[in-house]
């Protein structure tokens, strides 16, 4: 059987019209534009209107992706919607999207926090590569604002709402996901979670407690997530490039999860790559969870930051704790995976890079220990 690849043939995005700026947040909680920009890089985010739910945002971005790919909804073989803020707890939002689009195929929701869309892209690619399905819609949507406590300055400044979609179709030429890594560390589940409304605390029985103690909102251990994110972003991107036999120099654009500019800058430093090679649009949208990476991908394509034939590396991380990375070839082209392993010059460069990476990790660990010790000392006072 000839080799099949899952090529991205259409893409589209949708963000709500309403803008919530740092100046707006200054009126809601004790914060400042200076604090938010210096700690995160975020200037504003989009917030849904009351009648806009995850399915609406999804349909809006999906229609654009389908139009671009020239695929009618009824021609779809599968819809995957990565989402952690669905219209209802049950059913998953994907069936609602399927119905609103007028598609006739199977549809499922994939909930993996901010990593969800990269997970979904990898899952969808497997069906196409196996030759079992042809046209798959992969949507990343979150209306994080519904689960954010706008009295909690630790979280409310970080998140926003958005959606972005791609269509995957078979290609005989190398295209789409070339290598990937899916990761999970559930020991960190409570670093970023909503305590109320699941089966641990059924809303029907504990409604009053959930409201009184604000347990229906997102809770986050910021420093813990920050440490996890800085560790994961550069190391996971390096591993997927290694699997593909590629060096950072072979990559046209890095598309990281848009959680915090400092996390992205730290990855760029550790990978010894210039910030210009990292797509950043978090200043406009904040962290849009599952929509974050596809939204950055779509804007990078729209702005000409990357183009068909380019190889990009995506990496998302978030609640779970989870992470997902992929080397993706946009459009179709030629790759010879693993060939560069035999290139001695590159191997030498790789060895130097590995030593530099290890040294960076040691420095970072020492920095975190110092930071933790200072925090503990402060807490003990």
Sequence-ordered list of residues with C-beta below 8 angstroms from that of 201, at least 6 positions apart, any chain: 195, 209, 210, 215
What does DSSP say about strands 219-220 and 175-184: parallel, antiparallel, or unpaired? unpaired
Count of Cβ atoms closer than 10 Å to residue 347 Cβ: 13
- Give the CA dihedral 343, 346, 347, 350, nearest 10 degrees: -160
- Single out the catalytic residue among 83, 114, 156, 306: 114
Decide: is 147 part of the binding site for ligand COA (CB under 6 A).
no
Q: Is residue 146 part of the contact set for ligand COA (CB under 6 A)? A: no
C-alpha neighbours within 13 Å on the C-beta side of residue 342: 4
Kindly tell me the sign of the dihedral angle through the C-alpha atoms of 331, 337, 342, 345. Answer: positive
- Respond yes or no: is residue 257 known to be catalytic: yes
- List, as one string, the DSSP characters of 119-184: HHHHHHHHHHHTTS-S-EEEEEEEEGGGG--TT-HHHHTTB-EEEEEEEEEEESSSEEEEEEEEEE
Q: Which of these ranges, 68-76, 123-131, 217-225, 330-338, lies near ligand COA under the rule CB under 6 A?
A: 217-225
User: Of 156, 29, 55, nearest to 107 (Cα)?
Assistant: 55
* Contact with ligand COA (CB under 6 A) among 124, 225, 279, 296: 225
Determine whether 281 is an active site residue: no
Cα 163 versus chain centre, distance:
11
Report, in Å, the least distance between residue 46 CB and ligand COA. 17
Q: Point out the residue whose Cβ comes nearest to ligand COA.
A: 222
Q: How far is the CB of 40 from ligand COA (least distance, A)?
A: 5
> 60, 287, 306, 315: which one is catalytic?
287
For this structure, is 360 an active site residue? no
Residue with smaller CB distance to ligand COA, 165 or 287: 287
Q: How far is the CB of 226 from ligand COA (least distance, A)?
A: 4
Question: Binding to ligand COA by residue 229, rule CB under 6 A?
Answer: yes
Q: Which is nearer to ligand COA, 35 or 146 (CB)?
A: 35
Position 154 contacts ligand COA (CB under 6 A) = yes
218 part of the interface to ligand COA, by CB under 6 A = no
Nearer to ligand COA, 78 or 261 (CB): 261
Query: Among the options 60, 135, 156, 257, which is catalytic?
Result: 257
- Where does the chain show beta strands of DSSP type E? 5-14, 18-21, 44-47, 78-82, 106-110, 136-143, 161-171, 175-184, 192-193, 219-220, 253-256, 311-318, 322-332
Handedness of CA 100, 106, 112, 115 (dihedral sign): negative
Which residues inside 37-76 make contact with ligand COA, applying CB under 6 A?
A: 39-40
Closest separation in Å from C-beta 318 to ligand COA = 3
Contact window for ligand COA (CB under 6 A) among 13-21, 33-41, 171-179, 235-243 = 33-41
Q: Which residues are catalytic?
A: 114, 257, 287
**In the complex, which residues of this chain contact ligand COA (CB under 6 A)?**
31, 35-36, 39-40, 114, 153-154, 157-158, 220, 222-223, 225-226, 229, 259-260, 287, 318
């Amino acid at each position: 059987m000839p080799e099949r690849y899952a090529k991205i043939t259409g893409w589209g995005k949708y963000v709500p019209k309403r803008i919530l700026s740092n100046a707006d947040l200054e009126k809601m909680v004790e914060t400042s534009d200076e604090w938010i920009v210096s700690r995160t890089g975020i200037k504003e985010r989009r917030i849904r209107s009351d009648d806009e739910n995850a399915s609406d945002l999804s349909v809006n971005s999906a229609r654009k992706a389908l139009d671009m790919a020239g695929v009618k909804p009824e021609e779809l073989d599968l819809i995957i919607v990565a989402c952690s803020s669905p219209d209802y707890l049950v059913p998953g939002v994907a069936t609602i999207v399927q119905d609103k689009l007028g598609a006739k195929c199977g549809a499922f929701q994939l909930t993996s926090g901010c990593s969800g869309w990269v997970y979904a892209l990898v899952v969808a690619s497997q069906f196409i590569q196996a030759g079992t399905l042809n046209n798959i819609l992969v949507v990343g949507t979150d209306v994080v604002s519904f689960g954010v406590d706008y009295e909690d300055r630790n979280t409310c400044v970080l998140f926003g709402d958005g959606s972005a979609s791609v269509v995957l179709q078979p290609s005989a030429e190398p295209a789409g996901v070339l290598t990937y890594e899916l990761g999970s560390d559930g020991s960190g589940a409570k670093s970023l979670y909503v305590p109320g409304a699941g089966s641990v605390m059924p809303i029907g029985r504990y409604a009053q407690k959930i409201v009184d103690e604000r347990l229906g909102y997102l809770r986050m251990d910021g420093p813990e997530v920050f440490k996890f994110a800085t560790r994961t972003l550069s190391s996971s991107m390096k591993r997927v490039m290694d699997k593909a036999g590629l060096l950072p120099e072979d990559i046209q654009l890095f598309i990281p999860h848009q959680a915090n500019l400092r996390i992205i800058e730290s990855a760029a430093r550790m990978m010894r790559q210039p910030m210009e090679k990292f797509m950043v649009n978090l200043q406009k949208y904040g962290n849009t969870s599952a929509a974050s990476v596809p939204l950055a991908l779509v804007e990078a394509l729209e702005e000409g930051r990357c183009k068909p034939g380019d190889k990009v590396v995506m990496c998302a991380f978030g609640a779970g704790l989870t992470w997902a990375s992929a080397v993706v070839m946009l459009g179709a082209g030629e790759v010879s995976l693993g060939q560069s392993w035999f290139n001695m010059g590159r191997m030498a460069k790789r060895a130097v890079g590995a030593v530099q990476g290890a040294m960076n990790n040691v420095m970072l660990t020492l920095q975190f220990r110092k930071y933790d010790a200072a925090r503990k000392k402060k807490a003990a006072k």
